[in-house]
Amino acid sequence: MLILNESLLGAGITEKELNNGIDILKKKYFSYLEARIRENEITLLPGIREILEALDTGNGVLLGLLTGNFSEGARIKLSKFDLARHFKFGVFCDDTHIRNEMPGIARNKLRQNFNIHVDFSDMIVIGDTVHDIACGKFSGARTLAVGTGWTEKETLLRCEPDYYLDDLHDTEEVLRIIHSG
């Protein structure tokens, strides 16, 4: 939703017009996204499956997905590789378009849905954008910046993440970071 707001509001679309047309826009976007994912060669980045499977073994880690995607968009993207099953809950732009609010919403969902209270310091936000790192730092969660996205390594490092990796191929190192908190 942040991308939509920045793109469309900057192009002269009013917030009222955006809100009135959002359902149509989402329907078209989801249809387009499904077709693109089905038609194009998409590669899962190294280490992702191994990390998710290692964390999904009941070792005291509860995986949640915090993303600026719509919940349906995230479902479509994750379904390509059958990854959604690893995430027990999620916070999406359907919940808020303000990324810094997402860890708090995640904590509320943990309390409501699982009767678990988690301190922000026990959370780790892993992401490849400055927005991911900023939201983790804003809440007091630990942060792991990963250089697999569009953001330059130097830009991510200026955000002062707690950890930085070029990618997630080293499963043992990623698990060490996650469990170090």
Rounded average pLDDT per 10-residue block, the chain, 181 residues = 63 77 88 93 94 86 93 95 96 93 97 96 96 96 97 98 98 95 75
Q: pLDDT value at position 2?
A: 57
Domain boundary assignment for the chain? 1-42, 44-179
Q: pLDDT value at position 20?
A: 81
Q: pLDDT value at position 25?
A: 85
Architecture of domain 44-179: 3-Layer(aba) Sandwich (3.40)
- Rounded to two decimals, the pTM is 0.88
For 111-146, give the secondary structure using H, E and C.
Answer: HHHHCCCCCHHHCEEEECCHHHHHHHHHHCCEEEEE
Alpha-carbon torsion (22, 23, 26, 28), positive or negative:
negative
Q: pLDDT value at position 56?
A: 86
Q: pLDDT value at position 1?
A: 56
DSSP string, 29-74: HHHHHHHHHHHS---PPTTHHHHHHHHTSSSS---EEE-SS-HHHH
